[in-house]
Amino acid sequence: MDVVVVGASLAGVRTVQALRRKGLEGRVTLVGSEPHLPYDRPPLSKAFLLGEIDDSSVALLTAEQAKELEVELRLGAPATRVDRAGRAVQLEDGGRLPFDVLIAATGATPRTVPDRHPPPGVHTLRTLDDAVAVRDALAGGPRVAVVGGGFIGAEVACAARTLGLDVTVVDPAPTLMTRGLGPVLGDVMAARHRSMGVSLRTGRSVSRWRGSSRVEALLLDDGSVVAADLVVVGVGASPAVGWLHGSGLDISDGVGCDATLRATGTDDVYAVGDVARWHSTRYGGALRLEHWTSAGEQAMAVAATVTGTPTVFDSLPYVWSDQTGGRLQIFGRVLPGDEVVFVSGGPGEERFAAITGGQGALHAVVAFNALPDAMRYRKLLLQGAEWVAGRGVVQS
Protein backbone atom coordinates (compact mmCIF):
# COMPACT_ATOMS: atom_id res chain seq x y z
CA MET A 1 0.00 0.00 0.00
CA ASP A 2 1.39 3.45 -0.94
CA VAL A 3 0.41 6.04 1.67
CA VAL A 4 0.97 9.73 1.04
CA VAL A 5 0.58 12.06 4.00
CA VAL A 6 0.45 15.74 3.05
CA GLY A 7 1.46 18.08 5.88
CA ALA A 8 4.69 17.36 7.77
CA SER A 9 3.84 18.63 11.21
CA LEU A 10 2.21 17.21 14.31
CA ALA A 11 -0.74 15.38 12.74
CA GLY A 12 1.28 14.14 9.76
CA VAL A 13 4.21 12.94 11.86
CA ARG A 14 2.02 11.21 14.42
CA THR A 15 0.16 9.51 11.55
CA VAL A 16 3.25 8.06 9.90
CA GLN A 17 4.60 6.93 13.29
CA ALA A 18 1.31 5.25 14.17
CA LEU A 19 1.03 3.58 10.75
CA ARG A 20 4.43 1.96 11.18
CA ARG A 21 3.69 1.01 14.81
CA LYS A 22 0.61 -0.77 13.55
CA GLY A 23 2.73 -2.72 11.11
CA LEU A 24 1.95 -0.96 7.85
CA GLU A 25 4.38 -2.08 5.19
CA GLY A 26 4.75 -0.42 1.84
CA ARG A 27 5.77 3.05 0.89
CA VAL A 28 5.00 5.99 3.19
CA THR A 29 5.76 9.54 2.02
CA LEU A 30 5.45 12.63 4.19
CA VAL A 31 5.11 15.84 2.19
CA GLY A 32 5.70 19.25 3.75
CA SER A 33 5.63 22.75 2.33
CA GLU A 34 8.07 24.15 4.89
CA PRO A 35 11.80 23.55 4.36
CA HIS A 36 12.35 22.61 8.02
CA LEU A 37 12.21 19.17 9.54
CA PRO A 38 8.89 18.73 11.38
CA TYR A 39 8.65 20.76 14.59
CA ASP A 40 6.16 21.41 17.35
CA ARG A 41 4.18 24.67 17.49
CA PRO A 42 2.96 25.22 21.10
CA PRO A 43 6.37 26.35 22.44
CA LEU A 44 6.60 29.00 19.69
CA SER A 45 4.28 31.42 21.51
CA LYS A 46 5.72 30.58 24.94
CA ALA A 47 9.30 29.60 25.92
CA PHE A 48 10.62 30.23 22.39
CA LEU A 49 9.63 33.92 22.44
CA LEU A 50 11.26 34.32 25.84
CA GLY A 51 14.51 32.91 24.44
CA GLU A 52 14.37 30.04 26.93
CA ILE A 53 14.57 27.45 24.17
CA ASP A 54 15.65 27.45 20.54
CA ASP A 55 14.66 25.43 17.49
CA SER A 56 16.62 22.38 18.68
CA SER A 57 13.99 21.93 21.43
CA VAL A 58 10.96 21.81 19.16
CA ALA A 59 11.90 18.95 16.84
CA LEU A 60 9.13 16.40 16.19
CA LEU A 61 10.97 14.07 13.83
CA THR A 62 14.66 13.96 12.94
CA ALA A 63 16.01 12.79 9.58
CA GLU A 64 17.39 9.70 11.35
CA GLN A 65 14.00 8.87 12.87
CA ALA A 66 12.36 9.26 9.46
CA LYS A 67 14.92 6.87 8.02
CA GLU A 68 14.34 4.32 10.79
CA LEU A 69 10.60 4.51 10.09
CA GLU A 70 11.29 4.13 6.38
CA VAL A 71 9.34 7.29 5.72
CA GLU A 72 10.35 9.31 2.70
CA LEU A 73 10.40 13.04 3.48
CA ARG A 74 9.53 15.52 0.74
CA LEU A 75 10.15 18.85 2.48
CA GLY A 76 9.92 22.30 0.93
CA ALA A 77 7.59 20.72 -1.63
CA PRO A 78 4.01 21.97 -1.27
CA ALA A 79 1.30 19.75 -2.70
CA THR A 80 -0.58 21.77 -5.30
CA ARG A 81 -3.25 19.42 -6.60
CA VAL A 82 -4.83 16.01 -6.19
CA ASP A 83 -5.77 13.83 -9.12
CA ARG A 84 -8.42 11.68 -7.47
CA ALA A 85 -9.17 9.58 -10.55
CA GLY A 86 -5.48 8.96 -11.21
CA ARG A 87 -4.82 8.61 -7.44
CA ALA A 88 -1.82 10.92 -7.37
CA VAL A 89 -0.69 14.09 -5.60
CA GLN A 90 1.00 16.79 -7.61
CA LEU A 91 3.84 18.75 -5.97
CA GLU A 92 4.96 22.28 -6.73
CA ASP A 93 8.46 21.00 -7.60
CA GLY A 94 7.00 18.88 -10.42
CA GLY A 95 6.93 15.63 -8.42
CA ARG A 96 3.92 13.35 -8.73
CA LEU A 97 3.20 10.89 -5.93
CA PRO A 98 0.85 7.98 -6.60
CA PHE A 99 -1.17 6.80 -3.62
CA ASP A 100 -3.49 4.06 -2.48
CA VAL A 101 -4.33 6.09 0.61
CA LEU A 102 -4.05 9.87 0.92
CA ILE A 103 -4.03 11.57 4.30
CA ALA A 104 -4.53 15.35 4.50
CA ALA A 105 -2.67 16.85 7.46
CA THR A 106 -2.12 20.38 6.19
CA GLY A 107 -3.29 22.22 9.31
CA ALA A 108 -4.31 25.83 9.09
CA THR A 109 -2.89 29.16 7.97
CA PRO A 110 -3.29 32.35 9.99
CA ARG A 111 -5.79 35.00 9.03
CA THR A 112 -4.82 38.64 9.17
CA VAL A 113 -6.65 41.98 9.62
CA PRO A 114 -7.24 44.47 8.15
CA ASP A 115 -7.38 42.43 5.00
CA ARG A 116 -4.69 44.12 2.97
CA HIS A 117 -0.93 43.96 2.66
CA PRO A 118 0.44 45.14 6.03
CA PRO A 119 3.62 47.20 6.46
CA PRO A 120 6.82 45.59 7.81
CA GLY A 121 6.63 45.02 11.55
CA VAL A 122 3.25 43.28 11.36
CA HIS A 123 3.54 39.53 11.98
CA THR A 124 1.44 36.43 12.35
CA LEU A 125 2.65 33.50 14.44
CA ARG A 126 2.23 30.02 13.04
CA THR A 127 5.58 28.80 11.75
CA LEU A 128 9.09 28.54 13.13
CA ASP A 129 10.14 31.31 10.74
CA ASP A 130 7.34 33.52 12.12
CA ALA A 131 8.48 32.78 15.68
CA VAL A 132 12.10 33.61 14.91
CA ALA A 133 11.00 36.91 13.35
CA VAL A 134 8.81 37.84 16.36
CA ARG A 135 11.46 36.76 18.89
CA ASP A 136 14.12 38.83 17.12
CA ALA A 137 11.80 41.83 16.92
CA LEU A 138 11.00 41.56 20.65
CA ALA A 139 14.72 41.77 21.39
CA GLY A 140 14.74 45.32 20.00
CA GLY A 141 12.49 46.51 22.86
CA PRO A 142 9.50 47.59 20.75
CA ARG A 143 6.08 48.84 21.84
CA VAL A 144 3.97 45.78 21.12
CA ALA A 145 0.38 45.59 19.92
CA VAL A 146 -1.37 42.24 19.73
CA VAL A 147 -4.40 42.07 17.49
CA GLY A 148 -6.69 39.32 18.72
CA GLY A 149 -7.05 38.21 22.32
CA GLY A 150 -7.41 34.48 21.70
CA PHE A 151 -5.05 31.89 23.18
CA ILE A 152 -2.08 32.72 20.95
CA GLY A 153 -2.56 36.48 21.28
CA ALA A 154 -2.81 36.18 25.06
CA GLU A 155 0.35 34.07 25.20
CA VAL A 156 2.27 36.53 23.03
CA ALA A 157 1.10 39.42 25.21
CA CYS A 158 2.34 37.60 28.32
CA ALA A 159 5.68 36.77 26.77
CA ALA A 160 6.20 40.40 25.73
CA ARG A 161 5.21 41.68 29.21
CA THR A 162 7.53 39.13 30.82
CA LEU A 163 10.29 40.69 28.71
CA GLY A 164 9.32 44.04 30.25
CA LEU A 165 7.74 45.56 27.13
CA ASP A 166 4.69 47.80 26.77
CA VAL A 167 1.87 45.62 25.39
CA THR A 168 -1.64 46.43 24.19
CA VAL A 169 -4.14 43.77 23.13
CA VAL A 170 -6.98 44.79 20.81
CA ASP A 171 -10.00 42.53 20.36
CA PRO A 172 -13.57 43.23 19.22
CA ALA A 173 -14.96 40.77 21.78
CA PRO A 174 -15.85 42.06 25.24
CA THR A 175 -12.98 40.21 26.92
CA LEU A 176 -10.05 37.85 26.28
CA MET A 177 -10.41 34.31 24.89
CA THR A 178 -14.18 34.71 24.69
CA ARG A 179 -14.60 31.92 22.16
CA GLY A 180 -12.65 29.35 24.20
CA LEU A 181 -13.61 30.40 27.74
CA GLY A 182 -16.86 32.36 27.52
CA PRO A 183 -17.24 35.85 29.00
CA VAL A 184 -17.04 34.96 32.72
CA LEU A 185 -13.80 32.98 32.65
CA GLY A 186 -12.46 35.23 29.90
CA ASP A 187 -12.86 38.13 32.34
CA VAL A 188 -11.02 36.21 35.05
CA MET A 189 -8.05 35.75 32.73
CA ALA A 190 -8.32 39.35 31.45
CA ALA A 191 -7.94 40.54 35.05
CA ARG A 192 -4.76 38.48 35.36
CA HIS A 193 -3.41 40.10 32.20
CA ARG A 194 -4.24 43.58 33.48
CA SER A 195 -2.49 42.90 36.74
CA MET A 196 0.62 41.92 34.75
CA GLY A 197 0.45 45.34 33.12
CA VAL A 198 -1.02 44.33 29.76
CA SER A 199 -3.24 47.09 28.40
CA LEU A 200 -6.52 45.70 27.04
CA ARG A 201 -8.58 47.42 24.35
CA THR A 202 -11.47 44.95 24.20
CA GLY A 203 -14.67 45.74 22.32
CA ARG A 204 -12.53 47.52 19.71
CA SER A 205 -11.31 46.48 16.29
CA VAL A 206 -8.51 47.66 14.03
CA SER A 207 -9.51 49.84 11.09
CA ARG A 208 -6.11 50.53 9.58
CA TRP A 209 -2.38 50.24 10.06
CA ARG A 210 -0.38 53.47 10.22
CA GLY A 211 3.12 53.52 8.71
CA SER A 212 4.43 52.59 5.28
CA SER A 213 8.10 51.64 5.52
CA ARG A 214 7.41 50.28 9.05
CA VAL A 215 4.34 49.96 11.19
CA GLU A 216 3.91 52.94 13.52
CA ALA A 217 0.46 52.50 14.99
CA LEU A 218 -2.94 50.90 14.78
CA LEU A 219 -6.00 53.02 14.15
CA LEU A 220 -9.00 51.59 16.01
CA ASP A 221 -12.67 51.79 15.08
CA ASP A 222 -13.37 54.46 17.73
CA GLY A 223 -10.72 56.72 16.16
CA SER A 224 -8.15 56.05 18.90
CA VAL A 225 -4.55 55.20 18.09
CA VAL A 226 -2.32 52.49 19.58
CA ALA A 227 1.34 53.27 18.94
CA ALA A 228 3.31 50.14 18.08
CA ASP A 229 6.65 49.15 16.58
CA LEU A 230 5.73 45.47 16.52
CA VAL A 231 2.28 44.07 15.82
CA VAL A 232 1.39 40.42 16.20
CA VAL A 233 -1.91 39.42 14.64
CA GLY A 234 -3.60 36.41 16.20
CA VAL A 235 -7.11 36.41 14.82
CA GLY A 236 -7.49 32.74 14.10
CA ALA A 237 -6.57 30.45 11.24
CA SER A 238 -8.25 28.96 8.20
CA PRO A 239 -7.86 25.31 7.23
CA ALA A 240 -5.16 24.86 4.57
CA VAL A 241 -7.20 23.29 1.76
CA GLY A 242 -6.05 25.30 -1.27
CA TRP A 243 -4.26 22.24 -2.69
CA LEU A 244 -7.56 20.32 -2.64
CA HIS A 245 -9.50 22.72 -4.86
CA GLY A 246 -10.85 20.85 -7.83
CA SER A 247 -10.50 17.49 -6.06
CA GLY A 248 -14.24 17.10 -5.61
CA LEU A 249 -13.80 16.78 -1.84
CA ASP A 250 -15.97 18.73 0.57
CA ILE A 251 -13.53 21.44 1.70
CA SER A 252 -15.82 24.04 3.23
CA ASP A 253 -14.14 24.78 6.60
CA GLY A 254 -11.60 21.95 6.35
CA VAL A 255 -11.92 18.51 4.86
CA GLY A 256 -15.39 17.12 5.61
CA CYS A 257 -15.11 13.61 7.06
CA ASP A 258 -17.24 10.90 8.61
CA ALA A 259 -16.85 9.75 12.21
CA THR A 260 -13.71 7.75 11.31
CA LEU A 261 -12.06 10.80 9.70
CA ARG A 262 -12.52 9.38 6.20
CA ALA A 263 -13.27 12.15 3.71
CA THR A 264 -16.95 12.18 2.81
CA GLY A 265 -17.73 10.20 -0.32
CA THR A 266 -14.31 8.54 -0.59
CA ASP A 267 -12.74 5.27 0.46
CA ASP A 268 -9.10 6.30 0.18
CA VAL A 269 -8.79 9.85 1.57
CA TYR A 270 -8.59 10.83 5.26
CA ALA A 271 -7.93 14.02 7.20
CA VAL A 272 -6.24 14.57 10.57
CA GLY A 273 -5.44 17.54 12.79
CA ASP A 274 -6.49 21.16 12.37
CA VAL A 275 -7.62 20.58 8.76
CA ALA A 276 -10.10 17.81 9.65
CA ARG A 277 -13.81 18.56 10.07
CA TRP A 278 -15.37 15.31 11.13
CA HIS A 279 -18.71 14.04 12.35
CA SER A 280 -18.35 14.04 16.12
CA THR A 281 -20.50 11.37 17.70
CA ARG A 282 -19.93 13.04 21.09
CA TYR A 283 -21.48 16.33 19.94
CA GLY A 284 -23.75 14.92 17.24
CA GLY A 285 -22.48 17.19 14.48
CA ALA A 286 -19.53 18.49 12.50
CA LEU A 287 -16.53 19.59 14.54
CA ARG A 288 -13.09 20.95 13.68
CA LEU A 289 -10.59 21.54 16.47
CA GLU A 290 -7.25 23.33 16.50
CA HIS A 291 -5.88 21.49 19.52
CA TRP A 292 -2.53 19.76 19.85
CA THR A 293 -3.93 16.73 21.68
CA SER A 294 -6.68 15.98 19.17
CA ALA A 295 -4.21 16.09 16.27
CA GLY A 296 -2.22 13.25 17.86
CA GLU A 297 -5.31 11.27 18.84
CA GLN A 298 -6.81 11.61 15.37
CA ALA A 299 -3.56 10.37 13.85
CA MET A 300 -3.82 7.18 15.93
CA ALA A 301 -7.46 6.67 14.98
CA VAL A 302 -6.77 7.07 11.25
CA ALA A 303 -3.75 4.78 11.41
CA ALA A 304 -5.95 2.13 13.04
CA THR A 305 -8.62 2.49 10.34
CA VAL A 306 -6.11 2.42 7.48
CA THR A 307 -4.49 -0.74 8.87
CA GLY A 308 -7.78 -2.58 9.09
CA THR A 309 -9.47 -1.62 12.37
CA PRO A 310 -12.16 0.96 11.58
CA THR A 311 -12.02 3.43 14.48
CA VAL A 312 -14.44 6.21 15.33
CA PHE A 313 -12.68 9.32 16.67
CA ASP A 314 -14.58 10.49 19.73
CA SER A 315 -12.07 11.89 22.27
CA LEU A 316 -12.99 14.61 24.73
CA PRO A 317 -11.59 17.92 23.42
CA TYR A 318 -8.66 19.20 25.47
CA VAL A 319 -6.54 22.30 25.09
CA TRP A 320 -4.03 24.04 27.34
CA SER A 321 -2.43 27.46 27.30
CA ASP A 322 0.46 28.78 29.39
CA GLN A 323 -0.02 32.41 30.38
CA THR A 324 0.06 34.88 33.31
CA GLY A 325 2.35 32.58 35.22
CA GLY A 326 0.30 29.41 35.06
CA ARG A 327 -1.34 26.71 32.99
CA LEU A 328 -4.90 27.08 31.79
CA GLN A 329 -6.57 23.79 30.81
CA ILE A 330 -9.94 23.20 29.21
CA PHE A 331 -11.63 19.82 28.94
CA GLY A 332 -14.73 19.69 26.76
CA ARG A 333 -16.11 22.85 25.21
CA VAL A 334 -17.47 25.99 26.83
CA LEU A 335 -20.64 26.72 24.88
CA PRO A 336 -22.27 30.13 24.33
CA GLY A 337 -24.62 30.98 27.21
CA ASP A 338 -23.02 28.49 29.62
CA GLU A 339 -23.35 29.10 33.35
CA VAL A 340 -20.09 28.98 35.33
CA VAL A 341 -19.62 27.48 38.79
CA PHE A 342 -16.25 27.61 40.57
CA VAL A 343 -15.46 24.26 42.20
CA SER A 344 -12.14 25.26 43.74
CA GLY A 345 -10.52 28.64 44.27
CA GLY A 346 -12.11 31.57 42.52
CA PRO A 347 -11.51 34.70 40.45
CA GLY A 348 -8.43 36.54 41.64
CA GLU A 349 -6.85 33.45 43.17
CA GLU A 350 -3.64 31.87 41.94
CA ARG A 351 -5.43 28.60 41.22
CA PHE A 352 -9.00 27.80 40.41
CA ALA A 353 -11.18 25.22 38.72
CA ALA A 354 -14.60 25.93 37.27
CA ILE A 355 -17.23 23.93 35.47
CA THR A 356 -19.54 25.27 32.81
CA GLY A 357 -22.81 23.94 31.52
CA GLY A 358 -26.40 24.58 30.60
CA GLN A 359 -29.52 22.97 29.16
CA GLY A 360 -29.15 20.08 31.55
CA ALA A 361 -25.59 19.07 30.71
CA LEU A 362 -22.08 19.67 32.03
CA HIS A 363 -20.10 21.03 29.07
CA ALA A 364 -16.58 21.87 30.21
CA VAL A 365 -14.05 21.88 33.02
CA VAL A 366 -11.65 24.81 33.11
CA ALA A 367 -8.66 24.85 35.43
CA PHE A 368 -5.90 27.32 36.09
CA ASN A 369 -3.00 25.69 37.94
CA ALA A 370 -5.52 23.21 39.32
CA LEU A 371 -5.26 19.98 37.36
CA PRO A 372 -6.12 17.60 40.24
CA ASP A 373 -9.41 19.45 40.86
CA ALA A 374 -10.15 19.43 37.15
CA MET A 375 -9.56 15.70 36.82
CA ARG A 376 -12.42 14.83 39.20
CA TYR A 377 -14.84 16.82 37.06
CA ARG A 378 -13.34 15.57 33.80
CA LYS A 379 -14.51 12.13 34.89
CA LEU A 380 -18.04 13.48 35.39
CA LEU A 381 -17.85 15.12 31.99
CA LEU A 382 -16.97 11.79 30.39
CA GLN A 383 -19.89 10.20 32.24
CA GLY A 384 -22.27 12.81 30.79
CA ALA A 385 -23.11 14.44 34.13
CA GLU A 386 -26.29 16.45 34.49
CA TRP A 387 -26.21 20.24 34.97
CA VAL A 388 -28.57 21.78 37.49
CA ALA A 389 -29.25 25.46 36.79
CA GLY A 390 -27.72 27.69 39.46
CA ARG A 391 -25.90 24.80 41.14
CA GLY A 392 -23.81 23.05 38.50
CA VAL A 393 -23.17 19.36 38.98
CA VAL A 394 -24.82 17.83 42.02
CA GLN A 395 -22.71 14.95 43.32
CA SER A 396 -24.20 12.26 45.48
Ligand X SMILES: Cc1cc2nc3c(=O)[nH]c(=O)nc-3n(C[C@H](O)[C@H](O)[C@H](O)COP(=O)(O)OP(=O)(O)OC[C@H]3O[C@@H](n4cnc5c(N)ncnc54)[C@H](O)[C@@H]3O)c2cc1C
Min separation Cβ 261 and ligand X, Å? 12
Min separation Cβ 215 and ligand X, Å? 20
Min separation Cβ 271 and ligand X, Å? 9
CB nearer to ligand X: pick between 105 and 226: 105
CA dist 175 and 189 (Å) reads: 9
CB nearer to ligand X: pick between 37 and 217: 37
CB nearer to ligand X: pick between 185 and 240: 240
Cβ contact 232:125 at 8 Å: yes
Tally: H helices and E strands in the chain: 7, 26
Q: Under the rule (CB under 6 A), what is the footprint of ligand X?
A: 6-12, 31-34, 41-42, 44-45, 78-79, 105-108, 125-126, 152, 240, 243, 273-275, 290-293, 295, 319-321
Packing angle, helices 292-306 and 10-21, rounded to 10:
40
Packing angle, helices 151-162 and 178-196, rounded to 10:
10
- The type of residue at 163 is L
CB nearer to ligand X: pick between 211 and 248: 248
Number of Cβ within a 10 Å radius of residue 223: 7
Min separation Cβ 296 and ligand X, Å? 9
Q: Which residues contact 237 (CB under 8 A, 6 or more apart)?
A: 107, 108, 109, 110, 111, 126, 274, 290
Min separation Cβ 150 and ligand X, Å? 10
CB nearer to ligand X: pick between 60 and 259: 60
CB nearer to ligand X: pick between 34 and 250: 34
Min separation Cβ 243 and ligand X, Å? 4
Cβ contact 58:48 at 8 Å: yes
CA dist 396 and 267 (Å) reads: 47
- For residue 303, the SS3 value is helix
